[in-house]
């Protein structure tokens, strides 16, 4: 039985100090502020404001789910961001004060998802585009922070609108585009109406991925999934030209930006960045980047610009020499493990799908990247002497790398039948304990030139998710997705104790005093098991919900 005792005081919240990462899957999610000194981009539920020169970060908190779009007003005074939410629930748009770094207003009308946002050139209006479950376009008054009018974004016989851009000169005109639809909208403020006009493209049917308006409103350009560019006249609503006729952009035109000097910056889904001009759209300058391009943001007039890719890279490109410089990078798949070397907090290592990275804590810079193609690394651990980094891979191999150079030191092949899912090392640097997808825990003796299997411990029925070793190297604890945590005797190489729970254990660790173990799993509960000499063990429980703590410690005898 678990008795829950209400906490006497509120639990203090952890403050976010720094973030290493960039979500390149948000279309046009990377923005350079008009002050030319800050980058703004979403990451999870947070908006990051990062200084270009000093890398100093500020955070805007307010969204309850992942941010799906972000935009900045032409003056730089306002930031607007939209989020996704669950089907049937309202998705919020948040209007931020850039200078004060605080929330100004929360606008709720769309359901499911905010697809795209755009400010009018004089900061009078904000236009928002709802997702597939919503299908509407809404114009908001910035001064009153309320909706002026709305309308279905596309016709009945076409797909969803996914992109929006405002006129560069007029506050009453904007354009939406998407799957088979291109519309120019005019705002009728006295009657609180918006009137759409469908653009004519003849027999040509396209799915629009990106959109950009010329600085004088003479034309707007549309990037499509077929890899060509459409040039439209907003006054006549007719197609001016299209291209390139041959050698279209592979995987579509995923980002496009008009330059004031003339010409276009085009980013493809294959990572090709091109400068070209209408009507031929043939590459004048081009570079190949890593990952599909999703954002192009100009710094000032476009002498320098920033590019964001799907593989979580941010590049700075100078227009004159058209050479890229990597500004920010991170994993673009789920991070499987994080570990610090013994005795220092200046470095730490992380692993994700196909690579291991070593980071400098103070500068948030990547120092080393170790890549094993087409493999997934599930866990890592530093040897106590710092001479090797042990890693667990889904091909059933344990690989050891030199943490300074990334050189492969040795490989233990066929360490587990269904992949290695967890790994830990002893403080005397003579043993490696590994866990596999089949549930086995194996103890390996590590010599100068040899790696020998000591024992295979078969108690878990499902994959081992985490391993921790006691300071004296005589005991370790393993957590498994079968709902058990087992404490092992590393001297006799047999089980000491087992803990059962109705959860899939994901992690486990020892309390610094080592008379408690702390576990957590898919039920969002943190369990603390207390071990007393020659007495029954007591289990304490801390319940957590997605919003915060639900209770404090209870005790079960």
What ranges make up the beta strands (E) of 303-397? 304-309, 313-318, 323-329, 337-339, 347-351, 355-360, 365-371, 377-382, 389-393
pTM above 0.85, yes or no: yes
Does the bond joining 244 to the residue before it have cis omega, within 30 degrees of 0? yes
pLDDT the model gives residue 557: 29
Token pair listed for 382: 């530093």
Q: Which of 330, 336, 284, 323 is nearest to 309 (CA)?
A: 330
Report the distance separating Cα 292 and Cα 95, nearest Å. 29
CA distances from 418 to 49, 423, 503 (A): 43, 14, 22
CB 152 within 8 A of CB 181: no
Residue with tokens 């789920």: 334
CB 255 within 8 A of CB 225: no
Strands of 90-97's sheet, edge to edge? Answer: 67-72, 78-83, 90-97, 102-111
CA angle 216, 220, 225 (to 5 degrees): 155
Q: Which of 316, 324, 248 is nearest to 288 (CA)?
A: 324
What are the b/e assignments for 437-450, b being 16+ CB within 10 Å? Answer: bbbbbbbbebeeee
Contacts of 421 (CB under 8 A, 6+ apart): 378, 379, 392, 435, 436, 437, 463, 464, 465
Exposed/middle/buried for residue 220 (C-beta within 10 Å: 0-12, 13-18, 19+): buried
Q: Which of 185, 186, 222, 218 is nearest to 205 (CA)?
A: 222
**What values do phi and psi take at 348, rounded to 5?**
-155, 160
Report the distance separating Cα 387 and Cα 409, nearest Å. 10
**What values do phi and psi take at 145, rounded to 5?**
50, 50
Domains of the chain: 337-556 (2.130.10.10)
CB atoms within 10 A of CB 407: 11
One pLDDT digit (tens) per residue for the chain, 557 residues: 444 545 555 778 888 899 999 999 999 999 999 999 999 999 999 999 999 999 999 999 999 999 999 999 999 999 999 999 999 899 999 999 999 999 999 999 999 999 999 999 999 999 999 999 999 999 999 999 999 999 999 888 888 999 999 999 999 999 999 999 999 999 999 999 999 999 988 889 999 999 999 999 999 999 999 999 999 999 999 999 998 989 999 999 999 999 988 899 999 999 999 999 999 999 999 999 999 999 999 998 889 999 999 999 999 999 999 999 999 999 999 999 999 999 999 999 999 988 999 999 999 999 999 999 999 999 999 999 999 999 999 999 999 999 999 999 999 999 999 999 999 999 999 999 999 999 999 999 999 889 999 999 999 999 999 999 999 999 999 999 999 999 999 999 999 989 899 999 999 999 998 888 999 999 888 888 876 543 344 444 444 433 333 333 333 32
pLDDT the model gives residue 106: 96
pLDDT the model gives residue 44: 93
CB 229 within 8 A of CB 253: yes
pLDDT the model gives residue 545: 36
């Amino acid at each position: 039985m678990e008795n829950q005792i209400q906490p006497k005081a509120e639990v203090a919240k952890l403050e976010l100090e720094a973030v290493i990462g960039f979500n390149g899957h948000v279309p046009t999610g990377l923005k350079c502020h008009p002050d030319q000194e800050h980058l703004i981009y979403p990451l999870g539920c947070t908006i990051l404001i990062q200084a270009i020169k000093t890398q100093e970060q500020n955070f805007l908190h307010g969204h309850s789910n992942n941010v799906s779009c972000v935009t900045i007003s032409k003056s730089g005074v306002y930031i607007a961001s939209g989020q996704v939410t669950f089907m049937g629930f309202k998705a919020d748009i948040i209007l931020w004060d850039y200078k004060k770094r605080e929330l100004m207003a929360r606008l709720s009308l769309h359901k499911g998802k905010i697809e795209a946002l755009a400010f009018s050139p004089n900061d009078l209006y904000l236009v928002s585009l709802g997702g597939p479950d919503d299908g509407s376009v809404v114009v908001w008054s910035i001064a009153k922070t309320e909706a002026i009018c709305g309308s279905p974004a596309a016709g009945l016989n076409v797909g969803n609108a996914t992109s929006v851009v405002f006129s560069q000169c007029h506050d009453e005109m904007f354009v939406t585009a998407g799957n088979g639809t291109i519309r120019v909208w005019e705002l009728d403020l006295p009657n609180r109406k918006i009137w759409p006009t469908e653009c004519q493209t003849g027999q040509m049917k396209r799915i629009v991925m990106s959109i950009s308006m010329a600085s004088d409103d003479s034309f707007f350009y549309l990037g499509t999934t077929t890899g060509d560019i459409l040039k439209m006249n907003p006054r006549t609503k007719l197609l001016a030209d299209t291209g390139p006729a041959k050698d279209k952009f592979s995987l579509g035109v995923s980002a496009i930006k008009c330059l004031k000097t003339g010409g276009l910056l085009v980013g493809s889904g294959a990572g090709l960045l091109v400068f070209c001009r209408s009507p031929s759209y043939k590459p004048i300058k081009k570079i190949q980047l890593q990952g599909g391009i999703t954002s192009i943001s100009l710094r000032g007039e476009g002498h320098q610009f920033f590019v964001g890719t799907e593989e979580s890279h941010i590049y700075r490109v100078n227009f004159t020499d058209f050479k890229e410089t990597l500004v920010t990078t991170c994993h673009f798949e789920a991070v499987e493990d994080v570990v610090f070397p013994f005795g220092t907090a200046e470095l730490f290592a992380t692993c994700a799908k196909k690579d291991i990275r070593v980071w400098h804590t103070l500068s948030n810079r990547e120092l080393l990247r170790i890549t094993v193609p087409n493999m997934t690394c599930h866990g890592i651990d530093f040897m106590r002497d710092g001479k090797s980094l042990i890693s667990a891979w889904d091909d059933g191999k344990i690989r050891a790398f030199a943490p300074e150079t990334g050189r492969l030191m040795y490989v233990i092949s066929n360490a587990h039948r269904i992949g290695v899912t967890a790994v830990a090392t002893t403080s005397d640097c003579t043993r490696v304990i590994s866990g596999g997808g089949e549930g086995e825990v194996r103890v390996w003796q590590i010599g100068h030139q040899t790696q020998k299997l000591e024992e295979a411990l078969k108690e878990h029925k499902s994959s081992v998710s985490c391993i921790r070793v006691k300071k004296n190297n005589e005991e370790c604890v393993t957590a498994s997705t079968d709902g058990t945590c087992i404490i092992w005797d590393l001297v006799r190489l047999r089980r000491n104790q087992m803990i059962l729970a109705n959860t899939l254990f994901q992690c486990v660790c020892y309390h610094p005093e080592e008379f408690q173990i702390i576990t957590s799993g898919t039920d969002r509960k943190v369990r603390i098991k207390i071990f007393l000499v020659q007495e029954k063990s007591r289990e304490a429980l801390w319940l957590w919900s997605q919003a915060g703590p639900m209770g404090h410690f209870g005790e079960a005898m």
